[in-house]
Structure 1
Amino acid sequence: MSNIKNNFKIHKPSSLLIITPGYPDKDNSLIMSKFVKEQVEYLKSYFDTVYIISPIPHSFGLFESDKLCHDYTYDNIKIYFPRCYYVPIFYFKKILLDNRLKVIINTIEKNNLKFDVIHAHTTWPSGYIGAKLKEKYHVPSILTIHENGDWFEKEVKMDFPLINYAWENSDVLIRVNNKDIPILKQYNDNTYSIPNGYSSKYKILNKKECRDILNIQQDKKVIFSLGVLIKRKGFNFLIDAIKIILKSNPDILCVIGGSGPLKKKLEKQIHDLKLNNHVLLAGFIQEEQLPIWINACDIFVLPSLSESFGIVQIEAMACGKPVIATYNGGSEEIIISDEYGLLVDPRNAYDLAQKIEIALNKQWDKEKILKYAEQYQWENIASRIVSVYNKTYSENVIFN
């Protein structure tokens, strides 16, 4: 063993296979797991070829993903969207129907894909599939666990054999926060904390010009929030908070970007509270428009009940904006000082309203926020991920 250590040389992989539950289509008209695509943009320069496989459920053209997602290539990246069948039901610790592993193997064989490292995103099914492909093709598999706090906690409590298999048999586990590392180390000693990142398009722009583009009055105090309109994102508490704030701040405008199943319910809440002139549901916002919306605001608010990390808050910081967020499992590891933002109790509209008012009246140091956010630039995060690839691949070459 000592001779191996003395002669240890880092071997670098030349091709990467990514398994992900979602990936944007060619025209970016359907945004799924955009953070994976952004990460790939900064990983691709380290490889000759990057393969991405994202299984899409057959729906006879009913689902947007089935209609829009077709194989495409750009730069040195090849994306495959094989169609699959699965019923997302766990019954007696078995899956009723799921052929995603099979269709991924078929895609690999059909296209004669050769890869040195596998990187899977999210535990089920990608992490499980990555561990199975590791056995079949004898290449190392890395799993990044993106699950929000509540989801991750359920996975641990389920004690589901296939989930445990993914954690125990991946060569490396990466968690996007720090607090869950001790739990994951019970399944796999090779567990690291590496956060998500933000792209270079998030930067400071002229606030006046951004407001002119969006037709927002210059004298308004603008709050911006973003996310899928689902219960976990806590937008109902933000709307209640705006009602409270209006008593002392009549010039408030709160913009919530995103689409989702709770749209009608949130619209009714806004109408019932007579907030139509103060809360705007902006709907789905195109990726290229997001930096404009963020730069047009005064503060960014993330009222989520549960997050693993919360990419939008570092994107806001990259634009020099302070962030008001809840104690949700991810934000407290990012907002580590009141120089970058403020933390509030989840599900507490009064606490949220109070912290928003404090933030609107505080003089924030943009340069300090920007400097802090730099650690989350994708260039820096990608470099850390590639170091894990290289180390794991090199060890695999030597010991196999």
Structure 2
Amino acid sequence: MFEFKGGIQVYSSFFLEALQNINRPIKYDVFLKHDTHVSDKQAFDKNTNFHFSGTWPLKVRTATFVSQILSSGILQNPDLIISTHLNFTIAADYLKRLRGIPYWTIAHGIEAWNIQSPARQKALHNADKILCVSNYTRNRLIQEQHLDPKKLSLLPNTFDSNRFKISSKPSYLLERYKLQPEQPIILTVNRLVSQESYRGYDKILEVLPQIRQVIPNIHYIIAGKGDDRSRLEKSIAQHQLQDCVTLAGFVPDSELCDHYNLCDVFAMPSKLEGFGIVFLEALACGKPVLAGNQDGATDALYQGKLGALVNPDDTKEITKTLVKILQHTYPLPLMYQSEKLRKKVIEIYGFEQFKACLNQSIGDFLNFI
């Protein structure tokens, strides 16, 4: 749907699709900051109108985006405003004070933690409902911002189960990366952004020499692009890992499922992950997953019932756990039952569950007004 795809954009797309499945005549006005159009591959409800700010220069785009929201709110006086990013709760708060319009917002991850802006803090307190993607984010907001727990509800991430499916290792990727079908492969999918190195790929690089002592032909693929690549290349050279690490660069959507199916374990021992849609995508491909135990990834792996949770700062634990997973000795049988693993993650986090959860909240609101 959106031209620019990060975790929040993907979530917002699913959120809108779920809203449009509500069996009530509702008019939607959707405001997109960086987009210029929506994909013609997706059908939208005839009562949905899109407003784009992406054609404006960056230096005035935010102001244009906010002015569109404010002017439409004043003129149309909607029944409810929903902001899928906390930054724009400030505009919603202004409209509530001016016109009495209730608003909800969605809290994802790092943007919701350690909020210092008085305006954003006030907007959070004035929100009628805050939907949180994980218990971790919800608990941090309650603790840090002293919010009323009753106004914070859970609406975890979801994924496209029709897109991410189990298959054999793709031969074209084995050929591209010069790998053998039986070769054990660790995969991380993430933006390589210097400010986001908390995602954990550094830790995998750090423990790879120890893993190689046990599994000599191990190979690690990091998929993603960003300004952190040059630093990673230096780290790989420093650890003499050039022959067992591949920086795959940007992976198009059309190849993402194939990359999950290429690996034997998806690993991202992050420290500040709000949830992590990539975990769900890998699980839907029937792959064992390793994640950190100190952030929203604990929700994604269902408190360790869907995968391995480790201390992201404990290199010995990461090493030991990855070796166990790759040697099929990790004490979670579901991890090696790909079809059952896929079925379980769909049951817990599939779109039908996401839709039902959102519809319950929206239904309560519609019955109230």
Q: What amino acid sits opposite 1:340 in the alignment?
A: L
**Structure 2 residue runs without a partner (length 5+):** none
Judged with a 3 Å threshold, the aligned counterparts in structure 2 of structure 1 residues 283 and 201 are, in CA distance, closer, same or farther, namely: farther
Write the mapping of 1:4-19 to structure 2, written as runs, cut at 5 A: none
Q: What is the aligned-residue RMSD (CA, Å)?
A: 2.8
**2:82 aligned partner:** 119
Q: Is the 8 A contact 1:171 1:392 kept in 2?
A: no
**2:314 aligned partner:** 348
Q: Residue 5 of structure 2: which of 14, 28, 31 is its match?
A: 31
- Structure 2 length-normalised TM: 0.82
CA distance in 1, matches of 2:191, 2:33: 22
**2:340 aligned partner:** 368
CA distance in 2, matches of 1:263, 1:389: 43
CA distance in 2, matches of 1:219, 1:55: 45
Judged with a 3 Å threshold, the aligned counterparts in structure 2 of structure 1 residues 167 and 339 are, in CA distance, closer, same or farther, namely: closer
Q: What amino acid sits opposite 2:121 in the alignment?
A: N
More helix by percentage: 2
Q: What amino acid sits opposite 2:357 in the alignment?
A: R
Judged with a 3 Å threshold, the aligned counterparts in structure 2 of structure 1 residues 183 and 323 are, in CA distance, closer, same or farther, namely: closer
Q: Residue 167 of structure 2: which of 183, 206, 210 is its match?
A: 206
Query: How far has the Cα of 1:137 moved from its partner?
Result: 5.2
Q: What amino acid sits opposite 2:33 in the alignment?
A: P
Write the mapping of 1:21-100 to structure 2, written as runs, cut at 5 A: 24-25=2-3, 30-32=4-6, 33-46=9-22, 49-56=27-34, 69-72=35-38, 74=40, 75-76=44-45, 77-82=48-53, 83=56, 100=65
**2:69 aligned partner:** 104
Judged with a 3 Å threshold, the aligned counterparts in structure 2 of structure 1 residues 339 and 388 are, in CA distance, closer, same or farther, namely: closer
Bigger shift: residues 187-196 or 42-51: 42-51
Question: How many residues of Structure 1 are paired with residues of Structure 2 in the alignment?
Answer: 340
Q: SS of the counterpart of 1:187? A: coil
**2:350 aligned partner:** 377
1:320 matched to 2:281? The reply is no
Q: Is the 8 A contact 1:116 1:393 kept in 2?
A: no
**1:62 aligned partner:** none
Query: How far has the Cα of 1:85 moved from its partner?
Result: 6.5
Q: SS of the counterpart of 1:250? A: coil
CA distance in 2, matches of 1:86, 1:165: 26
Q: Residue 126 of structure 2: which of 169, 192, 196 is its match?
A: 169
Q: Is the 8 A contact 1:73 1:79 kept in 2?
A: no
Q: SS of the counterpart of 2:271? A: coil
Judged with a 3 Å threshold, the aligned counterparts in structure 2 of structure 1 residues 85 and 207 are, in CA distance, closer, same or farther, namely: closer
CA distance in 2, matches of 1:267, 1:297: 21
Query: How far has the Cα of 1:166 moved from its partner?
Result: 1.8
- Structure 1 length-normalised TM: 0.76
Query: How far has the Cα of 1:127 moved from its partner?
Result: 2.2
Q: Is the 8 A contact 1:326 1:345 kept in 2?
A: yes
CA distance in 2, matches of 1:227, 1:86: 27
Judged with a 3 Å threshold, the aligned counterparts in structure 2 of structure 1 residues 222 and 114 are, in CA distance, closer, same or farther, namely: farther
**1:219 aligned partner:** 182
**1:65 aligned partner:** none
Bigger shift: residues 259-268 or 231-240: 231-240
Judged with a 3 Å threshold, the aligned counterparts in structure 2 of structure 1 residues 137 and 290 are, in CA distance, closer, same or farther, namely: farther
**1:11 aligned partner:** none
**2:235 aligned partner:** 269
CA distance in 2, matches of 1:133, 1:276: 55
Q: SS of the counterpart of 2:308? A: strand
Q: SS of the counterpart of 1:314? A: helix
Q: Is the 8 A contact 1:294 1:300 kept in 2?
A: yes
1:154 matched to 2:114? The reply is yes
CA distance in 2, matches of 1:86, 1:168: 29
Q: Is the 8 A contact 1:164 1:187 kept in 2?
A: no
CA distance in 1, matches of 2:301, 2:291: 8
Judged with a 3 Å threshold, the aligned counterparts in structure 2 of structure 1 residues 98 and 161 are, in CA distance, closer, same or farther, namely: farther
For residues 24-82 of structure 1, the C-alpha deviation after alignment (integer angstroms, 9 at most, x for no partner) is 22xxxx424222223333332326554321224xxxxxxxxxxxx31347533543332
More strand by percentage: 1
CA distance in 2, matches of 1:73, 1:213: 28
**2:265 aligned partner:** 299
Q: Residue 142 of structure 1: which of 82, 104, 119 is its match?
A: 104
**Structure 1 residue runs without a partner (length 5+):** 1-22, 57-68, 88-96
